[in-house]
C-alpha cells in the first residue's frame, strides 16, 4: 500500500501591538506611565473619539471608538492626549524591520498589526512559535514596547489567537487543535459577524462554532449569503487566504484605514496630506503622470464611495493632487458621517513631460 501523502501546513503569525498609541505615549512620556491614558479626540467642545486607551484606562471600561466625553465620565482623572501619527508610523516602520529579519511575506493590516508567513523563514529556524518569541523579545528590547502574537496554520485562527492572552501574550493553536478550537469559538468572533448578524444567529440558535458546523453549506449560504460559505469552511479550520505582502501598495494609489473613525474635516485633511505625498512619490518613481484623480472614502458603516476629477493633460505635482483630493472631500463631507478609510489614486496615465524646463506655459494647469 502506498503511504498517504504528508499534509503540509502554513506557518502563520499574527502580531498585534498592545495598546499601541497609548504604549508609545507612555514610553516617551514617563509622567503618563501607570496612569489611565486616552489617545484620541479631546473631550472638550464637540469632543472626539478614543483611538486607544492604556490598560490602566481600560479597567474603567474605556474602549476604542468610544466618545471621549463618555470616557471622561467613566474615568474623570484620565489623561487625554492627541495622537502623534508621525511618531507611531516611525515606530511601526521599525517593527516591520524586525519582521523582515525572518520573512518577506508580511501583510500589514494597520500600523500596529500584521500577518507573517514564516513557512520558509530566512534564518531557517523552522518553528513559528520560536520566531514569534524572538519577534516579541526584539520589540521589547529594542523599542521598549510589548506585542501579542497568535501562531497557527491560517490567518483567521492566528488573528483570534493573538487576542487570547493580551497583553504581552503568545498563543499557539496547532493543526490538531484548530477544529476543536473553532467549534468552541463564540460566533461573535467570526469574521464579518457584527451586531446585526450576531443577533440573527442567536435567534437561529447559533451561539458557538459547533452550532454552525451542524448546518450544511447550502443552509448557511441561504441565511448568510457569501459569508455562509466562509463560515462553513472556517469552522472546519479551512482558511486558504494567503499572506499578501503587497497589500498596502496597489498600483499608483495609496490609502489608509485609521485606528479610529475620523469625524472632522481637519483630521481628514491632515490624513490627505500624507496620502497625497505617498501617491506623488510613487508617480515620480514610475515616471508617470495621471489625468484622473480619484478620492476613495469608506465610512464607519463600511459604505464606500468614490469621487474623481479629470484634467485635460496629465499631471504629477503634489499640490494639485492634494488640493483636488481635498476639494472632492469637501463636496461629500458630512458631520454626521464618520470616516474609517481615505484613499487617493491616479489613473489615465501618460509619460512625464521631457521637454526643456524653460517651456513652462505648455504644462500650466488651473485646478478648477
Catalytic residue annotation: 113
> What is d(CA 361, CA 344) in angstroms, rounded to the nearest whole number?
27
**Whether the bond into 108 is cis, omega within 30 of 0:** no
Q: Which one-letter DSSP state was computed for residue 30?
A: G
Query: Other C-beta atoms within 10 Å of 347: how many?
Result: 14
Report the alpha-carbon angle 201-204-210, nearest 5: 70
> What is d(CA 62, CA 3) in angstroms, rounded to the nearest whole number?
56
Q: Let me know: does 306 contact 345? Beta carbons within 8 Å.
A: no
Count of residues making up the chain: 368
Q: Let me know: does 116 contact 99? Beta carbons within 8 Å.
A: yes
Q: Let me know: does 331 contact 295? Beta carbons within 8 Å.
A: no
The burial of 293, by beta-carbon neighbours within 10 Å (0-12 exposed, 13-18 middle, 19 or more buried), is given as buried
Cα 195 to its chain centre, rounded Å, is: 20
> What is d(CA 36, CA 288) in angstroms, rounded to the nearest whole number?
49
Beta bridge partners of 295: 307, 344
Q: Let me know: does 178 contact 238? Beta carbons within 8 Å.
A: no
Q: Which residue has the cell 497625497?
A: 276
Beta bridge partners of 52: 39
3-state SS, residue 282: helix
Grid cell listed for 228? 455562509
Amino acid at each position: 500500500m502506498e503511504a498517504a501523502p504528508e499534509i503540509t501546513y502554513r506557518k502563520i503569525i499574527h502580531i498585534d501591538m498592545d495598546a499601541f498609541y497609548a504604549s508609545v505615549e507612555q514610553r516617551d512620556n514617563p509622567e503618563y506611565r501607570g496612569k489611565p491614558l486616552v489617545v484620541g479626540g479631546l473631550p472638550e467642545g464637540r469632543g472626539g473619539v478614543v483611538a486607544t486607551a492604556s490598560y490602566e484606562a481600560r479597567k474603567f471600561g474605556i474602549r476604542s471608538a468610544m466618545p471621549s466625553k463618555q470616557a471622561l465620565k467613566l474615568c474623570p482623572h484620565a489623561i487625554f492626549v492627541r495622537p502623534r501619527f508621525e511618531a507611531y508610523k516611525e515606530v511601526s516602520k521599525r517593527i516591520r524591520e524586525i519582521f523582515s529579519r525572518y520573512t518577506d511575506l508580511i501583510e500589514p493590516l494597520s500600523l500596529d498589526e500584521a500577518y507573517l508567513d514564516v513557512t520558509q523563514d530566512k534564518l531557517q529556524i523552522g518553528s513559528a512559535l520560536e520566531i514569534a518569541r524572538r519577534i516579541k523579545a526584539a520589540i521589547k528590547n529594542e523599542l521598549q514596547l510589548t506585542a501579542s502574537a497568535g501562531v497557527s496554520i491560517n490567518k483567521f485562527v492566528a488573528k483570534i489567537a493573538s487576542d487570547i492572552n493580551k497583553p504581552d501574550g503568545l498563543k499557539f493553536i496547532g493543526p490538531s487543535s484548530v477544529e476543536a478550537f473553532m467549534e468552541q469559538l463564540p460566533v461573535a468572533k467570526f469574521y464579518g459577524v457584527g451586531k446585526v448578524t450576531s443577533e440573527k444567529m442567536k435567534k437561529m440558535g447559533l451561539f458557538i462554532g459547533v452550532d454552525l458546523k451542524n448546518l450544511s453549506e447550502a443552509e448557511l449560504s441561504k441565511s448568510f449569503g457569501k459569508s455562509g460559505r466562509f463560515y462553513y469552511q472556517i469552522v472546519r479550520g479551512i482558511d486558504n487566504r494567503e499572506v499578501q505582502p503587497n497589500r498596502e501598495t496597489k498600483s499608483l494609489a495609496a490609502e489608509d484605514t485609521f485606528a479610529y473613525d475620523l469625524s472632522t474635516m481637519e483630521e481628514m485633511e491632515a490624513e490627505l496630506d500624507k496620502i497625497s505625498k505617498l501617491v506623488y512619490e510613487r508617480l515620480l518613481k514610475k515616471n508617470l503622470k495621471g489625468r484622473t484623480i480619484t478620492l476613495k472614502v469608506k465610512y464607519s458603516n463600511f459604505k464606500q464611495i468614490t469621487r474623481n476629477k479629470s484634467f485635460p493633460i496629465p499631471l504629477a505635482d503634489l499640490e494639485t493632487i492634494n488640493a483636488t483630493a481635498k476639494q472632492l472631500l469637501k463636496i461629500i463631507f458630512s458631520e454626521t458621517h464618520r470616516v474609517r478609510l481615505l484613499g487617493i489614486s491616479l489613473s489615465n496615465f501618460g509619460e512625464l513631460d521631457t521637454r526643456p524646463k524653460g517651456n513652462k506655459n505648455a504644462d500650466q494647469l488651473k485646478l478648477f
